[in-house]
Amino acid sequence: MNVAREIALNPNIVIYHADDVLTAQIVEAYRAGDGDAPAPIRGLIERGAVSVHMTRYRMRVRKPTDADMLTFLQDVEPALREWSGQVAIGAAPDRMPKRRLFSGPCDATLADDREVHGSSDGAAANQVAEALFSILGVAGVVLTPESASVVKGVLFAWADIAPRVEDALMAATPTEAD
């Protein structure tokens, strides 16, 4: 697994991006004192993180407000390196845009509504959303009858994801007769 660091605008937050699924839920949250936190979350908290929030490909780590950022990174990143198998945690690339609209018939079963899916757990009820979340790199989906807006993880490239999204939309899009 590859993990890359992004220093957020909030001076007490560090964001780590992964190229492997971190959670199937919309968000998993852990705080200092939570005894049931899985590795590497437990390691981050034991080394000083106040809280950790994970989404599909992103982990948001809060440091104590009085902690120096460099010292904090030196304290917590050994847990991430051990978990990911990386020698060092590098900076996240700037791969914008993170969202892309795929136009055309998408899900006629939605009528005039739209469905927002922030996790693969919630996507199981919709055949199109489930097919899109089966693609490595897809982090979020908004479906309408005429389009699919797809959000990708930061460490993924549209050149790799877009053809798979288009194929999945063609194969999984139910028709009104279905």
The pLDDT tens digits for 45-65 are 999 999 999 999 999 999 999
What is the percentage of the chain residues whose pLDDT exceeds 70? Answer: 93
pLDDT exceeds 70 at position 174: no
Mean pLDDT of 13-17: 96
Q: Which amino acid is at 29?
A: A
- Angstrom distance (rounded) from CA 142 to CA 113: 11
The tokens describing 76, both together, are 């917590």
**Residues for the chain: how many in total?**
178
As a three-state string, the secondary structure of the chain is: CCEEEEECCCCCEEEEEECCCCCCCCCEEEECCCCCCCCCHHHHHHCCCCEEEECCCEEEEECCCCCCHHHHHHHHHHHHHHHHCCCCCEECCCCCCCEEEEECCCCHHHCCCCEEECCHHHHCCCHHHHHHHCCCCEEEEEEECCEEEEEECCCCCHHHHHHHHHHHHHHHCCCCCC
For 58, phi and psi rounded to 5 degrees?
A: -140, 140
pLDDT, one tens digit per residue, over 72-81 is: 999 999 999 9
pLDDT, one tens digit per residue, over 94-115 is: 766 799 999 877 776 776 688 8
pLDDT exceeds 60 at position 177: no
pLDDT for 27 equals 92
Which CATH number does 99-172 carry?
3.30.1370.70
Residue ranges, CATH 3.30.1370.70, the chain: 3-91, 99-172
In this predicted model, which residue has the larger pLDDT, 175 or 49?
Answer: 49
Domain 3-91 belongs to what topology? Ribosomal Protein S8; Chain: A, domain 1 (3.30.1370)
pLDDT for 173 equals 61
Distance of CA 146 to the CA centre of its chain: 25
Average pLDDT, the chain: 89
For 33, phi and psi rounded to 5 degrees?
A: 100, -15
pLDDT, one tens digit per residue, over 114-153 is: 889 889 888 888 888 999 999 999 999 999 888 899 999 9
In this predicted model, which residue has the larger pLDDT, 19 or 172?
Answer: 19
